[in-house]
A = this chain, B = another copy of it.
Amino acid sequence: MSDDIQDREDAQGRDDVGDRLARVALTWLAEPGTWSVYGLVDEHGAANALDLLLDGGAPDDRLRRAVAARSGAGDPLAVATEAVTRAERLGARLVTPADAEWPVQVAALRRLAGSGATGRRVDTETAPPLCFWVRGGWPLGEVLHRSVAVVGARAATSYGVHVATEFGYGLADRGWTVVSGGAFGVDAAAHRGALNAGGVTVAVLACGVDRPYPVGNHALFDRIAETGLLLSEWIPGAEPLRPRFLTRNRVIAAGTRGSVLVEAAARSGATQTLRRAYAVGRAVMAVPGPVTSAMSVGAHELLREFPEARLVAGVPHVLEEVGRLGVDLAPPPRGPSRPTDGLDDEATAVLESMPRRGVTGPDVIATRAGLDVRTALRKLALLEELRLVARREGGYAIVPPLARRAGADAGQSPSNRIWTS
């Protein structure tokens, strides 16, 4: 490799690091979702936008005051660097648009710019995210590719909790990622349902991924981080301030193919998520309930006021909606294809018969897949070659996608197929 090329790659590397840290610094200087900040990044790049803001070049007074107040408390780039270090220590990572796992669909939030589409003043806080903090083994973009949000009230009734659990379970069981907040009630129930199905669930937080809120869901967050994802736009250590929940909601709305409202009181924050989902062209769904229940008023309101909102009484109804939209949503240039795309029926059966975690013997796998052991072993060998499963002491285990990618980066591999088409 010539020195020239080496220099260029170093410069490129420095630029990448600069962009990443600048994005973090910007979310610390001003709240995520701020349109004026997003506009500067869009036009000048994150590093230049940061310089501009620190030089007092904020395009509006409100932002200028915010930047002045924050930058007095520390050097934004130092804060960002420390945040990255801190995140690494606790097993979290920073994801920016430069990463292959960036969920491109959140760019749909650009449609909300100045549109007043959601009819609330928070329109000023609906700009697309600059970066995400992620805890968990799955690549963010792939996990969100086939995802549905299940949202609703903290003060859910037993009916709401039951329905949210069923929906979470049913969606996960059919291979869909469940996305929700981290609150008690509907959010927690949806996650639990997905976890019970052995599926992937994503909790989108309004605080640092190191201190998920509320603390009462501590054990649940641990399980989600182990088998799904914890996600946030705020740096580790950030507090769950009240307005952040509304800002966070736009990620739930735009990051998924559709949102299901399970229970909500009249004019609740959860219905706001649905209104944003609608504004960015996602499927808007609501589960009805007894008209005698105050916690179903929000869902009924939504169904009455939004002709596009669909009543869903079960998971098949949800799949009808998000399935229909799927084609339009898959972003053609970066749409992930999957390593499983070319598998034959038997190999697919083998793969699907394996639990997401732990080691399983080939005889058990064969029985579950409905194949003889010899065929199962042949297909397991194929899957091993594709880095979809790994041979372990006592049998085979699923290879989580991130591990697949890491392995691929080390050697020659077809695994980039996950990220580029």
Interface residues of A (CB under 8 A from B): 159, 162-163, 287-292, 296-297, 300, 303-304, 307, 310-311, 313-314, 317
By a CB distance below 8 angstroms, the chain B residues around A303 are 288, 303, 311
Q: From DSSP, what is the main secondary structure of chain A's interface residues?
A: mixed
Flag if A314 contacts B288 (CB, 8 Å). no
Q: For A302, give the chain B residue with the smallest CB separation.
A: B311
The minimal Cβ–Cβ distance linking A260 to chain B, given in whole angstroms, is: 11
Flag if B304 contacts A310 (CB, 8 Å). yes
Contacting residue for A289 out of B288, B307, B310, B317, CB 8 A: B288
Flag if B311 contacts A304 (CB, 8 Å). yes
Flag if B292 contacts A159 (CB, 8 Å). yes
Q: What 5 A-B pairs come out closest when comparing CB atoms?
A: A288-B288, A291-B313, A300-B313, A303-B311, A304-B311
Flag if A290 contacts B292 (CB, 8 Å). no
Flag if A313 contacts B287 (CB, 8 Å). no
How many angstroms between the C-alpha atoms of A290 and B289 in the bound complex?
A: 4
Contacting residue for A297 out of B292, B307, B313, CB 8 A: B313
How many angstroms between the C-alpha atoms of A310 and B303 in the bound complex?
A: 9
Q: For A307, give the chain B residue with the smallest CB separation.
A: B307
How many angstroms between the C-alpha atoms of A317 and B305 in the bound complex?
A: 12
Contacting residue for A162 out of B292, B304, B310, B317, CB 8 A: B292
Flag if B291 contacts A163 (CB, 8 Å). yes
A310-B304, A311-B303 known; A291-B297 Cβ under 8 A: no
